[in-house]
Amino acid sequence: MKRFLILVLALLFSTPLLAGQPIMMVRSKLKAADAMEVLKETVQEYGYSIAHVQRCDGGMAEFDYKSDFYRVLFFGKIDEVRGILKRYPEMAPFLPLKIAVIAENDETVLAAVDPRALAHLYGHNPVLQVQFARWYNDIRSMMEELRHYRKK
């Protein structure tokens, strides 16, 4: 009963973040370099480790393609990644998880695939669906923190 009540309350108070959209997006008032730093801290506060940062802007600049700050943060939990890949090697392309950090003038757009949007490609596997929902909740919460974050 208690669990049911918590679920109902969670549904009542949950704020949709581009509800039902396969690509989750938020805008942060921070400049991109600052947003990346705050995101790194936030990701770790949620219990994830940072795998690496892909510098797409740097790669393009090497080839003389002008670009704003454009980087992708890869992160994951080792036990989760191991457990999933052991049972589902076809999940390899989607691990570690990632969030793109894209500069737009003095603000930043953060974007990530809603993991639940992949469920149909895995035959709505119930184990993966639960995992996708957990990842979605974490990514959504992290992105919301960035949306509301104001520099002190």
Partner 1 sequence: MKRWLLILALISAQAALAAPDGKRLYEENCSACHQSEGKGGIGLPLTDEILAQLSDEYIAKTIRNGRPGRIMPSFETLSDAQVGAILKYIRGWSTKPAPVFPKVAKRGDPARGKPLYEKNCQRCHGKDGSGEGSGTGVTLSREREFMVMPAALNNPGFQRSASDAMIADIIRRGRRIGGMPSFRKKLSEGQIGDVVAYLRTLQPPPPVRGSEEWAGKAAYVMESPYGFDETVEALKQAITGANFRIFPARYLEQGLTDEFSVDTRQIGIRFCNFKELYHLLNIDPRLGTVLPCRINVLERNGKVLLVSPNIVELSKLFNNRELSEVAVIMEEIILAVMEEATL
C-alpha span between 71 and 138 (Å, rounded): 20
Told to check if 81 binds partner 1 by CB under 8 A, we report: yes
First CA to last CA distance, the chain: 42
For residue 76, list its beta bridge partners.
Answer: 49
| Piece in contact with partner 1 (CB under 8 A), picked from 37-45, 69-77, 130-138 | 69-77
Least distance from C-beta 142 to partner 1, angstroms? 14
The answer to whether residue 142 forms part of the interface with partner 1 (CB under 8 A) is no
- How many of the chain's residues bind partner 1 (CB under 8 A)? 67
Piece in contact with partner 1 (CB under 8 A), picked from 33-41, 94-102, 129-137: 94-102
Number of neighbouring beta carbons within 10 Å of residue 40: 16
Residue 141: CB minimum distance to partner 1, A: 14
Sign of torsion, CA 89 36 25 68? negative
- Using CB under 8 A as the binding rule, whether residue 27 contacts partner 1 is answered as yes
**How far is CA 137 from each of CA 4, 66, 94, 124, 141, rounded to the nearest angstrom?**
18, 35, 17, 18, 6
Residues linked to residue 24 through DSSP beta bridges, in sequence order: 112
Per CB under 8 A, residues contacting partner 1 are 1, 5, 8-9, 12, 15-23, 25-27, 29, 49-52, 54, 56, 59-60, 62-63, 65-68, 70-72, 74, 76-78, 81-82, 85, 89-96, 98-100, 102, 104-105, 107, 109, 111-113, 117-118, 120-122, 147
